[in-house]
Amino acid sequence: MGTNTLTYVVLLAMAFSVASASDPSPLQDFCVAVNDTNNTVFVNGKFCRDPKLATPNDFFFSGLRLPGNTSNKLGSMVTPANVAQIPGLNTLGVSLARVDYAPYGLNPPHIHPRATEILTVLEGTLYVGFVTSNPENRLISKVLYKGDVFVFPQGLIHFQLNVGTTNAVAIASLGSQNPGVITIANAAFQVDKNVINYLQSQFWTDNHTY
C-alpha cells in the first residue's frame, strides 16, 4: 500500500509540473543561447553558452531603431526582438517587437500561443482589440493614442489598425522569450476552398458545454 501511495504521489506531481509548464524562472543569472552543442548544457529549449564566455552582444539588438518596411498589402511590418535575435533572452521569459504601420495599415488578426502582450503606442492613432473565447466571442476594442497602453491576453485573437492619416509606431512587450504567432487568415486559407464554402453555408451553433 505504501509503495502504491508513493507511486501515485510521484505521478501526480509529474502531472502538475507538466500542466503548469511555461517559460520557467531561470536557474542561473542568464543562459545565452547557442547552436553549437559542444561543451554546453541543454536548458529550456536552447543550448547555453558557458556564462564566462558571455559578451555584451549576447544581450544587445539594434534592429528596433529602424522603421520596418510597410510597403506591402497589409501596410504594416513587425520587427521581433526575441531569443532568435537576442540569445541572452534564453530562459528569461520576455521579448519585444516593434510594429510599424502605414496610414490605414493593419496588423491582421493573430494569436500568440505562449504569451500575453502589452502594446504601447509611440506614434500615431491605432484601433486595437481582441475577441474573447467561446461562448461570448465578445470584441473588446479601443482607439489608442500616443503613450497609451493596451493588453492582449495570451492565446486570444487580436489586431491593430492604423486609423490615422500618418505613420504609426508601437512597441509590443511579450511574456515569453519565444511567444510564437499564428495569423488567423494564413491558418484558415490552408483549408480547401470547397470546405470553406461548405463551412460558410452552415448555420453555426455552439456545440461545446461550458
Residue 82 has pLDDT above 80, yes or no: yes
Average pLDDT score over residue span 92-119: 96
C-alpha cell at 70: 510597410
Mean pLDDT of the chain: 85
Query: How far is Cα 158 from Cα 187, in angstroms, rounded to an integer?
Result: 15
Each residue's pLDDT tens digit, 114-146: 999 999 999 999 999 999 999 899 999 999 999
Residue 176's pLDDT is what?
A: 92
Query: How far is Cα 144 from Cα 197, in angstroms, rounded to an integer?
Result: 36
Query: How far is Cα 47 from Cα 52, in angstroms, rounded to an integer?
Result: 15
Each residue's pLDDT tens digit, 169-193: 999 999 999 999 999 988 877 777 7
Contact at 8 Å (CB) between 177 and 31? no
CA nearest to 89, candidates 23, 179, 178, 177: 177
Query: How far is Cα 75 from Cα 64, in angstroms, rounded to an integer?
Result: 18
Label residue 39 by pLDDT band (50, 70, 90): low
Considering 25-34, 44-53, 100-109, the range whose residues carry the highest mean pLDDT is: 100-109
Query: How far is Cα 83 from Cα 185, in angstroms, rounded to an integer?
Result: 26
* CA 16 to each of CA 7, 19, 105, 109: distance values in angstroms, whole numbers, following the listed order: 14, 5, 43, 32
Label residue 5 by pLDDT band (50, 70, 90): low
Residue 17's pLDDT is what?
A: 43
DSSP 8-class letter at 69: -
Residue 26's pLDDT is what?
A: 62
Residue 27's pLDDT is what?
A: 55
Average pLDDT score over residue span 73-93: 95
Query: How far is Cα 190 from Cα 73, in angstroms, rounded to an integer?
Result: 19
Better pLDDT: 189 or 6: 189
158 in a labelled binding site? yes
CA nearest to 30, candidates 20, 41, 17, 38: 41
Residue corresponding to grid cell 482589440? 129
112 in a labelled binding site? yes
Residue corresponding to grid cell 543550448? 47
Q: Is residue 194 classed as helix, strand or coil in its secondary structure?
A: helix
Of the listed ranges 18-32, 72-86, 114-128, the one predicted with least confidence: 18-32
CA nearest to 30, candidates 14, 11, 15, 43: 43
Average pLDDT score over residue span 55-81: 97
Query: To the nearest whole percent, how much of the chain has pLDDT over 70?
Result: 80
Residue 45's pLDDT is what?
A: 62
Quickly list H helices, the chain: 2-19, 184-188, 193-201
What's the first-to-final CA gap in the chain, in angstroms?
38
Residue 15's pLDDT is what?
A: 45
Residue 78's pLDDT is what?
A: 98
The structure's pTM equals 0.79
